[in-house]
A and B are shown apart, each in its own frame.
Chain A
Amino acid sequence: MPICELRGVSRTYGSGPAKVHAVREIDLVIEAGEFTVFVGPSGSGKTTLLNMVGCLDQPSEGEVLIEGRPTAGLSDRALAHLRAERIGFIFQAFNLIPVLTAVENVELAVQLGGGGDGRARARQALAEVGLTGLEGRRPNQLSGGQQQRVAIARALVRKPALVIADEPTANLDSANGAQVLELMRELNEKHGTTFIFSTHDAMVMEHARRTVFLHDGRIARDEVRAAPAPRAGEGR
């Protein structure tokens, strides 16, 4: 069963002459374990589409199914529960809670999902992204790359089925960006977690196995690479 299925999904903003068609009639299936990137110029609908896949936003038309179940009729609480249980988010601007330390930010994800043993799991997740020793730092005491690693730990600590990352490297320099992508790839392979991310950076998209090109809210091309892209540091 696919992790996520979009059937005839459209999303418009506003109404009348100011109406914007951000996403138009998209059909898309994401299988478990995929490492997929949405590519397109700014304004092509990447963020809008990711938000609907992540059940943070509802389509104007069409339906979104998560693990086979339609999400259209779900209450706010049910959607929140679904996000807490099944979906992790990574943002372009990291979006860490400024008043919480690194470990508390991660722990918060465990607690929001109603899980126990949050502190230990948060430490373990931070260790997995290579941040052991920095658990007690506040976001403003961490570099951008470190902050995004905390965000990755936070998105993954509850072992979601699907992780959504909207331009995760856009606020990082290329070295840090490459490291973050490398980390996501590693976690994808290790845990089988499905990753969907977006970028308008050609270098970033090389890390993906499947690339969905968006243009004006439509899918222009959908490519699956036979072999995984070469890993950073392995030649080229």
Chain B
Amino acid sequence: MSFLLRLALRNLVRNARRTVLSTSAIVVGVFYLVLGQAMVGGVEEGIVRSAEDGLTGHVLIRAADYPDEGLSHPVDVLLDLPEPARAVLQERARASVPRTLFVATLVAGADSLRLRGIGFDPVEDVKVFPRETWKVDGKVPATAEDGVLLGAGAAAMLGIGPGTRVVLQTRTHAGALNALEVPVSGIVSTGNIAIDQVSAYVPHALVAGLIADPRPSHFGVRLAHRDEAPAVAAALAPALGDGFEVVTWEEETRELLRMQKIRRRALDAFVGVLLLMSSFGIANTILMAAHERVREIGTLRAMGLSRRGVLALFLMEGGLMGVVSGLLGAGLGGAGAWWFSVHPLDLSEMGAKGMGGNIQFSTWLYARFDPAMLVAPVLISVAVALLASAWPARSASRMAPAEAVRAA
């Protein structure tokens, strides 16, 4: 078989221009497939990450029927965890921290802004909601005296920085209006639009005073691995009883990920069309090769190559085009994917401003690069090339050798 391979290779190289032209569509298709998958995968991962790290943790405990759309965070229902639920968390969670989400108006001089207050425990919170990606101007409040940590987008809108004194206005648990003057301890860019544009971190001690109740509205839970979320949620639900709702990161991101699935399908369709087009190119090339080389086919048959051997020869030529273009496309796409997995795209420039509210989406898009994801596109490319050459190769193998040897 190795001599057939050599012959196939030589013929492809001899017609290098034609080979390149007819395989370029496959190269482009595979390139888009790899890079597109990496980008879509990166967006998905970004959605999950920023939800997980910013607002939901792996599992989130909140009041039943808590509104999960728009920017409305009632403090009508506050939570006391029942003892069995604490036991489940003790046993299965890495950490769990209380949080209180409330709607507040922040007043700075003549300007004011409605935003989401995130009541948090300055010391414990980081165990569930990591801060590695945070960029902080000033400092994260360590105590109630330090004041509040304001999202960078909100700070920019108000034109304020660390040290400014602001007034937080909100409603107490009982419904009365309340206000508090506090310093801005720091300005934070978390990379999560939902936080940076419209949120302020407020130490729990301050929140307790503002809403006149020490209880939180949420518990965020971190597990050893995100895959354990459904099982832990299932264990928590009966332990919590009525009045509570347990949601996993998966449920929280499902809607957004569904949009991604549509995007993924659109990509697949686009690549499918490209590959279909390229298969015509390859079929045509193999057909031309077979017609140009009728005499060679006849000679090989006379020398003892069987029909199956001729079939194999032309399938190899097609298959080799698939291998080479698959490797090339996957190499280029993989290089792009790797690059963007290290150097993220900054989406904050690209119309991200329209995505306020509860949409959780990182402004940094990291591609998801994994060498294993190059395998399928290369195999697809080879399969397309082989399928495309099947019929021309078959017709080459069917030529009558006695007539083929005489061909011009």
Contact = CB atoms under 8 A, between A and B. Distances in A.
Q: Which of A47, A97, A113 has the most CB of B within 10 A?
A: A97
Contact of A80 (B7, B11, B301): B301
A89 B302 contact: yes
A124 to B, nearest CB: 18
Contacts of B11: 99
B296 to A, nearest CB: 6
B301 A56 contact: yes
A195 interface: no
Interface string B1-45: 011001100110110000000000000000000000000000000
B303 A109 contact: yes
A56 to B, nearest CB: 5
Contacts of A81: 304, 306
A57 interface: yes
B304 A80 contact: yes
A54 B296 contact: no
Contacts of A54: 302
Contact of B401 (A56, A84, A93, A113): A56
A84 B405 contact: no
Give the bracket for the number of chain A residues in contact with chain B.
20 to 34
Given A97-B299, A100-B7, A112-B3, A80 B405 contact: no
B10 A99 contact: yes
Contacts, number: 76
Interface string A80-93: 11011100010101
B307 interface: yes
Contacts of B261: none
A93 B407 CA distance: 10
Contact of B405 (A48, A91, A100, A111): A91
Contact of A77 (B308, B402, B405, B406): B308
A51 interface: yes
Interface residues of B, number: 27
A76 interface: yes
Interface string A47-87: 11001001011000000000000000000110011011100
B405 A95 contact: yes
A112 B303 contact: yes
Nearest to A57: B402
Given A99-B14, A109-B303, A80 B402 contact: no
A83 B405 contact: no
Contacts of B306: 76-77, 80-81
B303 to A, nearest CB: 5
Q: Which of B300, B306, B400 has the most CB of A within 10 A?
A: B306
Interface string B263-296: 0000000000000000000000000000000011
B304 A85 contact: yes
A112 B7 contact: no
Contacts of B295: 93, 95
Contacts of B14: 98-99
Contacts of A109: 303-304
Contact of B305 (A48, A104, A107, A112): A112
A154 B303 CA distance: 9
Q: Which of B6, B304, B405 has the most CB of A within 10 A?
A: B304
A80 B305 contact: yes
B3 A80 contact: no
Contacts of A112: 3, 300, 303-305, 309
A54 B299 CA distance: 12
Nearest to B9: A99
A131 interface: no
Nearest to A90: B302
7 contacts: A80-B304, A89-B299, A99-B11, A108-B7, A109-B303, A111-B2, A112-B304
6 tightest Cβ-Cβ pairs between the two chains A and B: A84-B304, A57-B402, A99-B10, A80-B306, A51-B402, A111-B3
Interface of A: 47-48, 51, 54, 56-57, 76-77, 80-81, 83-85, 89, 91, 93, 95, 97-100, 104, 107-109, 111-113, 154
Given A83-B302, A99-B13, 7 more contacts: A76-B306, A76-B307, A81-B304, A97-B7, A97-B300, A99-B14, A111-B3
